[in-house]
Structure 1
Amino acid sequence: MPIRIPDNLPARKTLEDEGVYVMDSTRAARQDIRPLEIGLLNLMPNKERTETQFTRLIGSTPLQVDLTLVRITDHQSKHTSEDYLKTFYKTWEEVRTKKFDGFIVTGAPIANLPFEEVRYWPEMLDIMEWTKTNVHHAMFICWGAQAALHHFHGARRYRMDNKAFGVFRHQVTNPRSPFLRGFSDSPMIPVSRYNDIDRTTLGENLEVLIDNAEIGVSMLGDRKHRAVYFLNHLEYDNRSLADEYERDIKSGLDTPPPANLFPNGDTSIEPENRWRSHAHLLFQNWINEIYQTTPYDMDEIGK
């Protein structure tokens, strides 16, 4: 939340230079408050686990948030019952006339398919365009981020020689970004992907916010489309990478253990969570920025 201070207090400039969000008394007196409407398009096969990971972070804010779980309209899930989906989820067709303060698009386990070969790609194109008019600020995660960067900016992705898999130290490149308030200079971030984005194809409207010189960009900001792209997985819980590793081994893949996850590299020991605090910071900052900038009248969103 912002700090409210008297108008024209000299400390204001110092605080703003340090990235502290300041609201003067005049603006505070004009503010109206209502619940924030946030949508989560869940593209992951294990819907329950993914929604738990994200709602844990969204729910950590002191603000009231109304969360809508969204799924692709005609996609049949192999891992989640239709009764469950009908009970707790809306299809995109059911929400396409609605407006949201924030909207999250998750990753999807289809990294090896060209975008145009994904069965629901036409609907994804509609959804990404829809965020420009019906969403105040969007967050695209992992495959969702790659898809949005491809669609909005023509960014090219390529398959890396080796899967980036583990918990890696990254560098915050803009500590004054409102989305990174309170971040340490070099946060540890879970990574699990085969693909990277060709930096030379990133447009001038994109700002790199978190980076790793060896395994690629982690987070980008996009003011034009009121969006952030997070190519890795701060939302992961303790066992997400460990369970993925065990699935790979059972499937006969020669996947090495996730780097920097298990204490002393011992896969028999329960993994340590070294990123939880930054995950909460990211989502609190994102929701706070939405709260500070979204119109009170939801009909004004996207205009």
Structure 2
Amino acid sequence: MPVTVPHDLPARAVLEAEKVFVMSDERAGHQDIRPMRIAILNLMPMKVATETQLLRLLSNSPLQVEITLLHMSSHVSRNTPPGHLESFYSTFGDVADKHFDGLIVTGAPIERLDFEDVDYWPEMTRILDWTRSNVQSTLHICWGAQAALYRHYGVGKYEVRQKISGVFTHRLTGAKSPLVTGFDEEFLAPHSRHTDVHARDIEATGAVEVLAVSDEAGVFLAATPDGREVFVTGHPEYDADTLAREYRRDSDQQSDVAVPAHYFPGDDPTALPLNRWRGHGHLLYTNWLNYCVYQETPFDPNGV
């Protein structure tokens, strides 16, 4: 089944070229089925690229998914044309009285800032608090995961000496969760961040379970037992070349940037990287949609 997007959203053309099943909102209106209402709070600078990555993963499901794109009203995006935001995005104020089956909160390249120093932190806290009454399940990515762990449970973040960047091997912890149904006992996933959250701090909450960890990159996946709050510290949505583009961007700004670990063949930054995490990325999002959203949300979304 398709993911439903506006017919002129740029990501639609990319996904259709990949033979991904997307449906226009006009056609979806004639379907006699209630779609899953999923909002994406896009905090990333390159919003079009992030839209495409997430929509690709959300489309790999038998469910019809209706997307609402959100951006912060208290922050001015410098990397996305204002016309794109005006055409395809809403703000929290536009949806604060609505209920959603699921919400994805993306990462943001601001993890070195204290949470309270982020210009949109007051708005962010209002959104995070709102999710507990108006969203069936929220999936938080990277900085979004750190922000939610801090806001909801007081879990702090720690700056690391060297950026955690690369593709790392992870293992399941043994905690039982449908989110990891079908996962290999060891799997790969990308990370890209300057800060870390510690498994012991998460476990000390008594409310969040650590589901997958890496010896090198730390916690990858954690969630509440009911699946209403999911925390992903890495980036399974990344394209094959995303880490390469980040590495070249960072190298242009400073000279001592480390090559992303276990990413380029032979650790040669001129070599073409391969996507070795795509399967588990799709599986994670499909499991989230199925087990945490579809099987738990009420038929009337206003009853969340």
Query: Which whole-Å deviations, capped at 9, do the CAs of 1:59-112 have from their partners, x for residues lacking one?
Result: 111210101101111321101111110101011110111110000000001111
2:184 matched residue in structure 1: 184
Gaps of 5+ in 2: 2-31
Equivalent position amino acid for 1:53 in 2: Q
2:263 matched residue in structure 1: 261
Q: Is the 8 A contact 1:175 1:183 kept in 2?
A: no
After TM superposition, give the deviation of residue 281 of structure 1 in Å: 0.3
Counterparts of 1:87-236 in structure 2 under 5 Å?
Answer: 87-174=87-174, 176-202=176-202, 203-223=205-225, 226-236=228-238
Q: SS of the residue aligned with 1:264?
A: helix
2:282 matched residue in structure 1: 280
Cα RMSD over matched residues? 1.6
Cα distance in 2 for partners of 1:190, 1:215 equals 9
Evaluate the alpha carbon distance shift between residue 293 and residue 33 of structure 1 in structure 2; reply closer, same or farther with a 3 A threshold. farther
The number of residues matched between the two structures is 271
Q: Is the 8 A contact 1:175 1:181 kept in 2?
A: no
Cα distance in 2 for partners of 1:199, 1:236 equals 24
Cα distance in 2 for partners of 1:78, 1:220 equals 32
Q: Is the 8 A contact 1:40 1:68 kept in 2?
A: yes
Cα distance in 2 for partners of 1:268, 1:214 equals 24
Cα distance in 2 for partners of 1:255, 1:103 equals 34
Query: Which whole-Å deviations, capped at 9, do the CAs of 1:139-195 have from their partners, x for residues lacking one?
Result: 000000000000111101111122111000011123742111111111111011111
Cα distance in 1 for partners of 2:175, 2:279 equals 16
Q: TM-score, normalised by structure 1?
A: 0.86
Q: SS of the residue aligned with 2:57?
A: helix
Cα distance in 2 for partners of 1:73, 1:251 equals 29
Evaluate the alpha carbon distance shift between residue 124 and residue 225 of structure 1 in structure 2; reply closer, same or farther with a 3 A threshold. farther
Cα distance in 2 for partners of 1:253, 1:299 equals 52
Q: SS of the residue aligned with 1:160?
A: strand
Q: SS of the residue aligned with 2:193?
A: strand
Q: Is the 8 A contact 1:132 1:225 kept in 2?
A: no
Matched, 1:294 2:297: yes
Cα distance in 2 for partners of 1:66, 1:253 equals 44
Cα distance in 2 for partners of 1:134, 1:74 equals 21
After TM superposition, give the deviation of residue 33 of structure 1 in Å: 5.5
After TM superposition, give the deviation of residue 257 of structure 1 in Å: 1.0
Cα distance in 1 for partners of 2:111, 2:155 equals 15
Q: TM-score, normalised by structure 2?
A: 0.86
What percent identity do the matched residue pairs reach?
45
After TM superposition, give the deviation of residue 218 of structure 1 in Å: 0.8
Cα distance in 2 for partners of 1:82, 1:177 equals 40
After TM superposition, give the deviation of residue 214 of structure 1 in Å: 3.3
After TM superposition, give the deviation of residue 124 of structure 1 in Å: 0.3
> Where has structure 1 moved over 6 Å in runs of 4 or more?
none
Q: SS of the residue aligned with 1:294?
A: coil
Q: SS of the residue aligned with 1:192?
A: strand
Q: Which structure would you say has the larger Rg? A: 1
Q: SS of the residue aligned with 2:295?
A: helix
